[in-house]
Structure 1
């Protein structure tokens, strides 16, 4: 992971509506967007950014690219990501929601073979406060500091960042790992990255109901992570067995009848299961976002 103020960024799907809204905000933050790709729109210039038809043309005309953000239609994400990998881009952030799961499986196989970091899909991206904005984070709620945020939820990341900022706790980086059924870099991978990051002194992990990624993260923290970690799990009040709200997270453990039976008898994927796993790993769990700064300050004092 290497996201800095010098990161040279490509936007794939730069003519898509969300990209058109996000790119000017990224530019205003100082992000170096060097080019955009949108087949059929090559030769245009948007917000001072040259638009080309192919990633290969970008490398020829503007030089090296360190990271790409993908905003294309869900069924075109795989092609866009594979094109980026084929041209040597090793940091891919997928903002698009609803990428087909089988496409994501294929992408992860190629990413692992090429040592490519994939963030998302269905995520707000990455922000290193004071340096670079890669995605759709509302930059105004962040401030530079030494607390790393890693989250499955976009909006909760913003809320927690605001709570930290108001408490005088700046952030070293904030990452939305994505909330589709299958995502790229996991909680465990980001925990390792943040544990090795010199600017990060403590970590906040923001989870949701559905799936078992938080339980796996709790075990990883207990076995590997040295830095203080504070957790928050959203969805305590969600009714069991009734899909509501953040569908990508909630139905993750309800994809088949077998999974539903397992979840019912083991509480797998429930808020209770995740909170219990964190507590067993001796990770403080906040009952609400406003409690996170207090738990962090306590953890940093030990």
Structure 2
């Protein structure tokens, strides 16, 4: 799929032409990644920094608050590059100003803040990607966050991932086989989050540019089991490939992500594997086996694909 053949369904999830504001833009992270996003093609139109006297960054105007930024630029998407304890306030301000999609990248957002944020965005009818996420992308069109360009390529695979690092590695390898992404959503590994696997599936299941779905999960919680239920309920017949990380994790010990916690047998790799397999997905525990299976099914040597 070329960059011009963007997915109409992915555009329903996030408009690739949407005007974007960056909260915390005058900080080091905000300055750096706002320019990376803009160079990628993202329509970054404003920054927000309540305590800064900077008028602009790289030609992008800076406003004191989201309401001013939205009023002047019509921004409908926010990427909040603020510290974890400032995430709830950033979401409140963004949604209060009419922002429809908020992406938050900070690790370590308190769970009670995430609970309040989730309630807030649901009542507002907005979408939240986070608490912690590397972002999302429609490759060749839009990048929100800091997904690495080297792993992004337009293509037929819809990607939803808890782990940023694993998704970078897998997507980079698949891109080397000529298999890019139609939509890439980093849902993050927090126990309380704005968007879960089952929320992304309805878009990928009907998207004509998405020919297969790649799920990068991990032990802990019930998100993969929820996805398995959704696959069956929706009657999704597209090939689903899943990598479940964390086989060596001990019960009661958090492994990496706050949500990667097994307690009393809940959230085990076996329970997730059983649920996804029963729903028709192919489940892997090694990256190489996963990549080889996808590449083989798409028959990349001849350019044909074995999925509909």
TM-score (norm: length of structure 1): 0.89
Structure 1 stretches of 5 or more lacking a match? 254-259
Determine which of 194, 212, 219 is the counterpart of 1:209: 219
SS of the counterpart of 2:208? coil
1:19 is matched with 30
Count residues in correspondence: 288
1:208-241 deviations in whole A, cap 9, x for unaligned?
1111111111121122123221111011123344
Say if 2:18 is the partner of 1:7: yes
1:132 is matched with 142
What is the rounded CA distance, in whole Å, between the counterparts of 1:21 and 1:38 in structure 2?
15
Is contact 2:13–2:203 with CA below 8 Å preserved after alignment? no
Say if 2:98 is the partner of 1:100: no
Match runs of 1:109-258 below 5 Å: 109-224=119-234, 225-244=236-255, 246-251=256-261, 253=262
SS of the counterpart of 2:259? helix
The change in CA–CA distance for 1:270 and 1:16 in structure 2 (over 3 A counts) is farther
What is the rounded CA distance, in whole Å, between the counterparts of 1:193 and 1:210 in structure 2?
25
| Root mean square deviation of aligned Cα | 1.8
2:3 is matched with none
The change in CA–CA distance for 1:5 and 1:241 in structure 2 (over 3 A counts) is closer
1:288 is matched with 286
Residue 43 (structure 1) shift: 4.6
1:240-275 deviations in whole A, cap 9, x for unaligned?
44444x141333x4xxxxxx3xx2xxx311212211
The change in CA–CA distance for 1:294 and 1:7 in structure 2 (over 3 A counts) is same
2:8 is matched with none
Say if 2:62 is the partner of 1:51: yes
Is contact 2:245–2:285 with CA below 8 Å preserved after alignment? no
What is the rounded CA distance, in whole Å, between the counterparts of 2:92 and 2:54 in structure 1?
23
SS of the counterpart of 1:274? helix
Is contact 1:152–1:176 with CA below 8 Å preserved after alignment? yes
What is the rounded CA distance, in whole Å, between the counterparts of 2:249 and 2:48 in structure 1?
41
Structure 1 or 2: larger helix share?
1
Residue 197 (structure 1) shift: 2.2
What is the rounded CA distance, in whole Å, between the counterparts of 2:81 and 2:50 in structure 1?
13
1:66 is matched with 76
TM-score (norm: length of structure 2): 0.87
Residue 42 (structure 1) shift: 4.5
The change in CA–CA distance for 1:242 and 1:103 in structure 2 (over 3 A counts) is closer
Say if 2:300 is the partner of 1:301: no
Structure 2 stretches of 5 or more lacking a match? 1-11, 299-304
Range that drifts further, 286-295 or 195-204: 286-295
Is contact 2:70–2:76 with CA below 8 Å preserved after alignment? no
Is contact 1:4–1:128 with CA below 8 Å preserved after alignment? no
What is the rounded CA distance, in whole Å, between the counterparts of 1:272 and 1:237 in structure 2?
12
